[in-house]
């Protein structure tokens, strides 16, 4: 079972929300384009197209994809710990030769 961190960094949460929103919109566009291609080529009457404001089905699908994307990335932020900065080894550059 994965351990959820108690206090995630607000910057990581904000970036997860932004990235999840962008990924959700991109996935919606891909699904709408693929279904639109099949709809046009096979003469089907699927009520899904890129105009989400004119079609309730498209709007619901867009909200689902955005919510799933945001939820997935927030889950990753809560589960994966942030990387810690490691100081580079400073080699002794003075040559005594």
Question: Does residue 52 lie within any of the structural domains?
Answer: yes
Who contacts 83 (Cβ-Cβ below 8 Å, separation ≥6)?
none
Q: Report, as an integer, the average pLDDT of 30-48.
A: 78
**Opening angle at CA 82, ends 78 and 84, nearest 5:** 160
Looking at every residue in the chain, the average pLDDT score rounds to 81
What's the token pair of residue 48?
Answer: 């899904």
Say what angle helices 10-42 and 56-79 make with each other, to 10 degrees: 140
Residue 92 has pLDDT above 60, yes or no: no
Domain limits for position 60? 28-79
Q: How high is the pLDDT of residue 19?
A: 95
Question: Does residue 50 lie within any of the structural domains?
Answer: yes
The single residue listed with the structure tokens 């990335």 is: 73
Name the least confident of 18-27, 61-70, 87-96: 87-96
Domain count, the chain: 1
The single residue listed with the structure tokens 């899904």 is: 48
Q: Bigger pLDDT: 56 or 64?
A: 64
Q: How high is the pLDDT of residue 34?
A: 86
Question: Does residue 86 lie within any of the structural domains?
Answer: no
Question: Does residue 74 lie within any of the structural domains?
Answer: yes
Rank 18-27, 44-53, 54-63, 86-95 by mean pLDDT and report only the highest.
Answer: 18-27
């Amino acid at each position: 079972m994965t351990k959820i961190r108690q206090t995630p960094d607000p910057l990581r949460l904000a970036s997860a929300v932004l990235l999840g929103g962008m990924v959700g919109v991109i996935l919606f566009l891909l699904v709408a384009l693929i279904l639109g291609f099949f709809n046009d080529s096979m003469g089907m009457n699927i009520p899904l197209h890129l105009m989400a404001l004119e079609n309730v089905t498209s709007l619901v699908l867009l909200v689902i994809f955005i919510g799933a994307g945001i939820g997935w990335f927030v889950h990753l932020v809560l589960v994966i710990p942030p990387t810690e900065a490691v100081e580079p080894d400073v080699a002794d550059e003075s040559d005594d030769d």
